[in-house]
Amino acid sequence: MITPLLDPTLITATSGLIAIIVIAAALLRAWNGWLELKRQELERSGHRPATDEGSTIGTARIELADLKERIRKLEAIASGVEL
C-alpha cells in the first residue's frame, strides 16, 4: 500500500510547483539585471531625462535653423540663382 506522502500525483505537483518557483526567481533576477544594464547605458551616454527644457529648446532652434536654410536653398533654386 502506498502512503499518502509518496503518492505520485503529490510528488509530481510538488516538483512542478518548485520548478515554477525556481524559473520565476531566475527570470526576476534576469529582468533586474537587464534593467540595471540599461540604467548604466543611460548614465554612460550622458542622456538626460526629457524634462530637461534646455536641451529640447536648443534642439528645436537647431532644427528651425536647418529648415530655414533648406527653404533658402529651395527659393534660390526656384529663382534660378546658383549658390
> What per-residue confidence (pLDDT) applies to 82?
66
d(CA 72, CA 66): 10
Q: What is the pLDDT of residue 50?
A: 58
pLDDT value at position 16? 97
| Residue in this structure with the C-alpha cell 520548478, named with its chain if needed | 19
SS3 string of the chain?
Answer: CCCHHHCHHHHHHHHHHHHHHHHHHHHHHHHHHHHHHHHHHHHHHCCCCCCCHHHHHHHHHHHHHHHHHHHHHHHHHHHCCCC
pLDDT, tens only, 14-55: 999 999 999 999 999 999 999 999 999 988 887 665 555 566
**φ, ψ dihedrals at 52, nearest 5°:** -75, 105
Q: pTM score > 0.75 for this model?
A: no
